[in-house]
């Protein structure tokens, strides 16, 4: 044997940075780089090592040895001739003359084939005492590290390895690496197969993250093949520690237990819910908390208290707040800026706070916090008095590694984002296991969980299964959670914690805690601990949450407009929540005819204007608003019904499902403003609706709310809601009447004969949505293997929601010289300016194949020719100033379509 073993002649990386003096990096060294990164993650994240030990049911030292050794084998396929293909520059000298007859094939499949054909028999017993076949789920996880899993079918290594020399080199390296890193087999616990299948989801994510780090030449520059494995391992471990630290992946120490005053507010007293959160016993294992209380009861603060206590007890390392919409995610991100300091010890180390949704990179405050991947930048700003945000802790910094890649954003210490980012973890999307890995150590908070359709409800149940199986904790928050859905969420969690991974259709029909029709208390806090024991705690209502909001039904829109005009003249803060964007714009136009200039807020704004309008709405109607600032009329859609802390003197709602009506009512007289509301204002919810009838016409909605059925197609649900709101002296009684009101609508299936066909159609659609979701979601018990799924999709192609297809339109200004520029003029960075000029519209209104007018095509082409390929198909609409707004035209298969836009009103078709 030569001084330098043959296996060091095999190239693992051959794309050097510009300042590199070497052209390639040995595959053996890269394998050790990645193994060292896993080892460094264990050192820097004590919760990660504890999670591994719990998942594998091994002592921590054994779990560390097993994981890092298996990870080291992840690129063993790079010793195959099929990896080199026809690239002579990669050909190892020990294989003799270059042979250009090899077709390049995936090195991941080559590695798996070598394991099955050779390494399992020669090395399996050195890793696990027992049957080496029991490592199969973990092997698939290790070799499926490029974003999708491998099939579990046996493939002959000769398909990839053409010579004995390449096989011998791979085997020699693997043997020496196992001897170096493992130092004896681990003893498998009983029922190892189920353990390995469950752990495979976590391990696949760990390998991907370690591979990203270990492939970065900033920390692992190419190294000449001069060191033996033991010497290089020592070097790689030092580099890996640096990589984990500088990438922002080291866990900052959690804060020790704090009092309510220290954690939430120095002068406020906790509500009964918050007091429960401060004192409820915690098991220290993965736990589920279901918190049901009225809107504005302080559920966010209660969840924050639970997060703090779980972190202080080392049961979690951070939190992810999963919100229904981008607007609610933005609002939660702002709140976490103010609360995050209480979760961690002030050691001067970086704490990563990440906003995670499709437009996160366009959010100004998040952009401001992503300054650099070194905490020194933010600390320097803080020392000069120039903090990132007036209310934000000075130690917040987002590592560029996290901020630039949404797949990794769930690794941040605290995240706030749309639920979609978490749901992609349980769908066959690329690198879904990175999301699962990151979430496993977090407390997953599902806010406004009642807000989702059947498709997303099924996804949420599967997400709870996976999170429970991987040892995480979760908090579910809702003001209006139907009993049946609540029970199905709990059963999904229990299924995951037992490791069974039963399909959600098998658990949603049944609950061991069925009440046989007995109504659950409300407010209610439910805990399912790590031993599967469930405790329900009825809560006292906060005194200020006890109220009765009378419901006034209005059946004529003209009458309603007169009421709004009168309230506006009294100086009241008024909101009218409409069910569709078109209805919102029509209502605003009606009010202008009465010399009332309303503020308009809906989803059909360019991103720049939507962000500005969101802040304007919060300033005008949020907790800090006072006096004449509040004397405005807001006409909005559902964008304001959840999570935004808004308070109105008068609130009108179009008829909607009862739980949403209750949510909307929570924005009426939300804050205590004793003596500060305009004279004449009343705490009364006004609902625009058809008149109630026991036997309505089939088109009963069309006279007053013709567009509502396009959003809420379950007419039976709407009819039962109206039935309850039409009772004599109808009122929303909080909290005592909330549960019964919701159940009288959702647990009842009564529907008039005239509406039965439409109701059955809506029910069939709902069941179809649930069935579609069950076809898409992954199954825990399958393990990380592609045998059960035909495709593993890009995360931008797989649907987390079943909604109307959206067409992305980018608005442009048509300049005098015939060129075009982005709608937003306040942004100098071109890509960001165009992204901030986007509007998303239903594909039913603007088809995706719409084209710009032919006379403007050349101007569009000059701008888009440098765009990434996936952006070139976006629809660009050049706009010209016209009649106080802006007008543009596009061509569809049905003819020309005119678009009108104004910054204060949004897009009108």
Using DSSP's 3-state secondary structure scheme, residue 290 falls into strand
- State the first-to-last Cα distance of the chain, in angstroms, to the nearest integer: 77
Q: How confident is the model at residue 396 (pLDDT cuts 50, 70, 90)?
A: very low
- What's the mean pLDDT in 640-644? 80
What the block records as the tokens of 880 is 């010209």
Q: How confident is the model at residue 339 (pLDDT cuts 50, 70, 90)?
A: confident
Q: Residue 387 above 50 pLDDT?
A: no
- What's the mean pLDDT in 352-376? 50
pTM for this one?
A: 0.87
Q: Residue 405 above 70 pLDDT?
A: no
Q: Residue 324 above 70 pLDDT?
A: yes
Model pLDDT for residues 250-305, shown as the tens digit of each residue: 888 999 999 999 999 899 899 999 999 999 999 988 999 999 998 878 899 999 99
Give the β-pairing of 288-292 and 473-478: parallel
Q: Residue 501 above 60 pLDDT?
A: no
HEC readout, 515-578: CCCCCCCCCEEEEECCCCCEEEEECCCCHHHCEEEEEEEECCHHHHHHHHHHHHHCCCCEEEEC
**Listed residue (812, 778, 762, 667) closest to 295, CA to CA:** 667
- What's the mean pLDDT in 699-719? 93
* Lowest mean per-residue pLDDT among 74-78, 497-501, 840-844: 497-501
Q: Which positions ≥6 away from 75 have C-beta within 8 Å?
A: 12, 27, 30, 31, 34, 107, 111
* Lowest mean per-residue pLDDT among 365-369, 481-485, 881-885: 365-369
How far is residue 897 CA from its own chain's centroid? 35
Q: Residue 306 above 50 pLDDT?
A: yes
CA-to-CA distance for 227 and 29, rounded, in angstroms? 9
The pLDDT value recorded for residue 360 is 52
Evaluate whether 646 touches 640 at the Cβ level (below 8 Å). Answer: yes
Q: How confident is the model at residue 363 (pLDDT cuts 50, 70, 90)?
A: low
- What's the mean pLDDT in 102-118? 87
Sequential DSSP letters for 110-158? HHHHHIIIIIHHHHHHHHEES-GGGGHHHHHHHH--SSSPPP-S---GG
**Listed residue (727, 730, 743, 596) closest to 659, CA to CA:** 743
Q: How confident is the model at residue 157 (pLDDT cuts 50, 70, 90)?
A: confident
Q: Which positions ≥6 away from 99 have C-beta within 8 Å?
A: 81, 91, 162
CA-to-CA distance for 845 and 470, rounded, in angstroms? 43
Model pLDDT for residues 810-835, shown as the tens digit of each residue: 999 999 999 999 999 888 888 888 98
- What's the mean pLDDT in 600-623? 92
The DSSP secondary-structure symbol of 429 reads B
- What's the mean pLDDT in 224-239? 96
Cα 671-674-680 angle, rounded to 5 deg: 100
If 0-12 CB within 10 Å is exposed, 13-18 middle and 19+ buried, where does residue 775 land? exposed
If 0-12 CB within 10 Å is exposed, 13-18 middle and 19+ buried, where does residue 898 land? exposed
Sequential DSSP letters for 328-379? HHHHHHHHHHHHGGGGB--SS--B-EEEESTTGGG-HHHHHH-S-SSHHHHH
Using DSSP's 3-state secondary structure scheme, residue 674 falls into coil
Q: Which positions ≥6 away from 450 have C-beta within 8 Å?
A: 478, 479, 480, 481, 482, 485, 659
CA-to-CA distance for 130 and 132, rounded, in angstroms? 6
The DSSP secondary-structure symbol of 279 reads H
Residue 843 neighbours by CB distance under 10 Å: 14
The pLDDT value recorded for residue 124 is 93
The DSSP secondary-structure symbol of 803 reads -
What the block records as the tokens of 645 is 């802390």
Evaluate whether 662 touches 741 at the Cβ level (below 8 Å). Answer: yes
* Lowest mean per-residue pLDDT among 176-180, 379-383, 522-526, 620-624: 379-383
> pLDDT over 70 for what percent of the chain?
89
Q: What are phi and psi of 809, to 5 degrees?
A: -115, 130
Evaluate whether 83 touches 104 at the Cβ level (below 8 Å). Answer: yes
Phi-psi group of 675: left, alpha or beta (phi > 0 → left; psi -120 to 50 → alpha; rest → beta)? left
Give the β-pairing of 895-902 and 885-892: antiparallel
CA-to-CA distance for 109 and 239, rounded, in angstroms? 28
CA-to-CA distance for 154 and 416, rounded, in angstroms? 42
- What's the mean pLDDT in 99-121? 86
Using DSSP's 3-state secondary structure scheme, residue 476 falls into strand
Q: Residue 388 above 90 pLDDT?
A: no
The pLDDT value recorded for residue 829 is 82
The pLDDT value recorded for residue 800 is 84
Strand partners, 291: 477, 525
Query: Can the peptide bond before residue 523 be classed as cis, meaning omega within 30 degrees of 0?
Result: yes
**What distances in angstroms separate CA 243 from CA 147, 248, 765, one per listed residue?**
21, 9, 50
Using DSSP's 3-state secondary structure scheme, residue 323 falls into strand
* Lowest mean per-residue pLDDT among 11-25, 316-330, 374-388, 460-474: 374-388
Please give the mean pLDDT across all residues of the chain: 86
Q: How confident is the model at residue 794 (pLDDT cuts 50, 70, 90)?
A: low
The pLDDT value recorded for residue 570 is 95
């Amino acid at each position: 044997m030569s001084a330098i073993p043959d296996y060091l002649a095999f190239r693992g990386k051959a794309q050097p940075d510009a300042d590199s003096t070497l052209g390639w990096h040995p595959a053996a060294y890269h394998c050790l780089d990645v193994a060292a990164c896993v080892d460094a993650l264990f050192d820097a994240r004590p919760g990660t090592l504890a999670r591994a030990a719990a998942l594998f049911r091994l002592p921590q030292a054994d779990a560390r040895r097993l994981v890092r050794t298996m990870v080291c084998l992840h690129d063993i396929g790079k010793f195959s001739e099929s990896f080199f293909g026809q690239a002579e520059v990669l050909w190892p000298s020990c294989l003799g003359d270059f042979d250009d007859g090899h077709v390049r094939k995936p090195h991941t499949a080559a590695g798996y084939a070598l394991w099955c054909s050779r390494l399992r028999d020669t090395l399996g017993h050195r890793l696990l005492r027992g049957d080496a076949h029991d490592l199969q789920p973990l092997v698939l996880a290790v070799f499926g590290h490029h974003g999708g899993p491998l099939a579990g079918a046996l493939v002959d290594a000769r398909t990839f390895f053409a010579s004995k020399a390449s096989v011998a080199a791979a085997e020699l390296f693997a043997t020496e690496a196992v001897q170096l890193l493992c130092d004896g087999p681990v003893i498998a616990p009983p029922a190892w197969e189920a353990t390995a299948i469950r752990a495979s989801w976590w391990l696949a994510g760990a390998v991907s993250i370690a591979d990203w780090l270990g492939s970065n030449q900033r920390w692992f520059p190419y190294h000449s093949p001069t060191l033996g494995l033991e010497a290089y391992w020592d070097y790689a471990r030092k580099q890996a520690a640096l990589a984990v630290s500088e990438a922002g992946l080291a866990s900052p120490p959690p804060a020790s237990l704090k009092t309510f005053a220290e954690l939430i507010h120095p002068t406020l007293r906790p509500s009964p819910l918050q007091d429960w959160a401060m004192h409820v016993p915690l098991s220290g294992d993965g736990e589920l908390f279901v918190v049901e209380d009225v809107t504005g009861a302080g559920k966010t603060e209660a969840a924050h208290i639970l997060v703090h206590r779980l972190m202080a007890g080392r049961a979690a390392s951070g939190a992810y707040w999963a919100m229904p919409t981008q607007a609610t995610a933005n609002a939660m991100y702002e709140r976490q800026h103010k609360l995050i300091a209480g979760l961690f010890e002030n050691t001067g180390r970086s704490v990563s706070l990440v906003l995670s949704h499709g437009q996160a990179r366009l959010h100004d405050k998040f952009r401001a916090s992503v300054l650099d991947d070194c905490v020194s930048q933010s600390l320097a700003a803080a020392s000069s008095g120039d903090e990132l945000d007036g209310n934000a802790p000075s130690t917040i910094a987002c590592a560029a590694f996290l901020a630039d890649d949404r797949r990794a954003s769930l690794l941040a210490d605290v995240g706030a984002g749309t639920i979609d980012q978490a749901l992609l973890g349980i769908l066959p999307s690329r690198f879904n296991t990175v999301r699962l890995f990151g979430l496993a150590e977090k407390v997953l908070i599902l806010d406004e969980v009642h807000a989702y359709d059947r498709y997303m409800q099924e996804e949420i149940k599967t997400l709870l299964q996976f999170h429970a199986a991987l040892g995480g904790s979760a908090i579910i928050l809702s003001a209006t959670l139907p009993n049946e859905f609540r029970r199905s969420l709990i059963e999904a969690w229990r299924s995951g914690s037992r490791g069974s991974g039963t399909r959600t259709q098998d658990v949603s029909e049944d609950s061991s805690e069925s009440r046989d029709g007995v109504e659950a208390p409300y407010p209610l806090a439910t805990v399912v601990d790590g031993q599967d024991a469930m405790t329900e705690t009825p809560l006292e209502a906060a005194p200020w949450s006890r109220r009765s909001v009378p419901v006034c039904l209005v059946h004529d829109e003209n009458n309603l407009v007169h009421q709004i005009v009168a309230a506006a003249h009294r100086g009241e803060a008024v909101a009218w929540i409409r069910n569709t964007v078109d209805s919102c714009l029509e209502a605003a136009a009606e009010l202008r005819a009465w010399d009332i200039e309303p503020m308009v807020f809906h989803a059909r704004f360019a991103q720049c204007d939507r962000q500005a309008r969101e802040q304007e709405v919060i300033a005008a109607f949020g907790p800090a608003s006072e006096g004449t600032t509040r004397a405005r009329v807001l006409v909005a859609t559902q964008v304001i019904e959840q999570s935004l802390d808004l308070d109105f003197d008068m609130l009108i709602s179009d008829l909607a499902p009862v739980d949403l009506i209750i949510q909307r009512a929570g924005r009426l007289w939300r804050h205590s403003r004793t003596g500060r509301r305009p004279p004449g204002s009343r705490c009364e919810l006004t609902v625009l609706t058809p008149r109630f009838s026991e036997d309505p016409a089939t088109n009963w909605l069309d006279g007053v709310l013709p567009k509502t059925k396009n959003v809420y197609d379950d007419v039976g649900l709407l009819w039962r809601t109206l039935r309850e709101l039409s009772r004599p002296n109808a009122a929303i009684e909080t909290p005592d009447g909330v549960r019964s009101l919701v159940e009288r609508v959702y647990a009842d299936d009564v529907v008039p004969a005239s509406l039965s066909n439409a109701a059955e159609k809506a029910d069939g659609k709902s069941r179809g949505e649930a069935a579609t979701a069950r076809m898409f979601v992954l199954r825990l018990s399958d393990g990380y293997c592609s045998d059960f799924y035909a495709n593993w999709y890009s995360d931008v192609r797989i649907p987390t929601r079943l909604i109307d297809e959206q067409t992305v339109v980018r608005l442009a200004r048509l300049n005098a010289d015939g060129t075009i520029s982005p709608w937003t003029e306040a942004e100098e960075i071109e890509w960001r300016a165009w992204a901030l000029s986007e509007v998303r519209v239903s594909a039913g209104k603007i088809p995706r194949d719409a084209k710009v007018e032919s006379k403007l095509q050349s101007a569009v082409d000059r701008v888009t020719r440098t765009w990434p390929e996936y952006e070139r198909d976006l629809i660009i609409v050049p706009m010209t100033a016209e009649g106080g707004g802006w007008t543009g035209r596009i061509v569809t298969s049905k003819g020309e379509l005119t678009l009108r836009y104004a910054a204060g009103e949004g897009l009108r078709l």
